[in-house]
Amino acid sequence: MNIDVLVVPYDSAKRSERMGAGPQALIDAGLVARLEGKGHSVRRIVIDPPVGAWRAEIRTAFDLAAALSETVGDALSGDRFPLVLSGNCGVAAHGICAALGSRTVVLWADAHGEFNTPDTTVGGFLDGMGLATLTGRCWTSIARRIPGFVPLDERRIWLVGARDLDPLEAEALEGSGIHRVPAEAIGSSIAESIRTVEPESPLYFHLDVDVLDSSEGRANQFAVAGGASASQLVELCAALRSGRPPAAVALASYEPEADADGRARDVVLRAIEALF
């Protein structure tokens, strides 16, 4: 397989800090080498915002998503598989789904709902609004700057493993069309279920590393208990490969400083091997 590893090393508009350091850390740990060792042809491309642009957080996030959308589109048109390594979830999701189109089916694995809006957020974290933006609940005007971006119907999204929710965010998810899957159900059964959902539509697999239970490895400073085990996550990835291979994959929110013993990193590498 020809794979484009698309590196977006930003967290909240800051380059290579906090979760923005995650993509390079995974590469340094051998992610690309493992793919090449399995016979894949890998090309690495780094995504940056426009030169000279002021790094305002909101604008930078959408500038990065716009650049990623074009790069993902180039990969797909060149018969290359887009594997995105991103500090933030929203940047990856908005760019990938804009390139894949409005018929995309999304399998989103995350400890958090990412379904806040500016009116519901407790912490004010822009990346906690990624899934809400993807479905057109907020940031609608600036999202139109992303080439090809169209809000997705909530019923096209499966949110897996989310358990750490703000109160109003939880209410919004409860009233939405998003399908919820608890962490204990993560595994091959999800892949089997989603295999029959609009099989002609592209599948986007979004893996926020903190879907992993914090006892299995601390993916980032936001990691919490009650998540998937390492074996569950690897089982899901292997089942997707054999049942319904995704059209694009994103790995997001890995923070190397939080992963002092490297256990979360090692789970990510195993998951990638299972996917490819």
pTM confidence score? 0.97
Split into its structural domains, the chain has a count of: 1
pLDDT one digit per residue (tens) for the chain, 276 residues: 999 999 999 999 999 999 999 999 999 999 999 999 999 999 999 999 998 878 899 999 999 999 999 999 999 999 999 999 999 999 999 999 999 999 999 999 999 999 999 999 999 999 999 999 999 999 999 999 999 999 999 999 999 999 999 999 999 999 999 999 999 999 999 999 998 899 999 999 999 999 999 999 999 999 999 999 999 999 999 999 999 999 999 999 999 999 999 999 999 999 999 999
pLDDT in the model for residue 60: 97
Smallest Cα–Cα separation from 61: which of 175, 168, 6, 139?
Answer: 139
Please report, for the domain that includes residue 107, its CATH number.
3.40.800.10
pLDDT for position 53: 72
Range of the domain at 176: 2-275
What are the DSSP calls for the chain, one per residue?
-EEEEEEE-EETTEETSGGGGHHHHHHHTTHHHHHHHTT-EEEEEE--PPTT----HHHHHHHHHHHHHHHHHHHHHTT-EEEEEESSHHHHHHHHHHHH-TT-EEEEE-SB-----TTT-SS--GGGGHHHHHTTSS-HHHHTTSTT--PPPGGGEEEES--B--HHHHHHHHTSS-EEE-GGG-SHHHHHHHHTSSTTSPEEEEEEGGGB-GGG---STT--SS-B-HHHHHHHHHHHHHH---SEEEEE---TTT-TTSHHHHHHHHHHHHH-
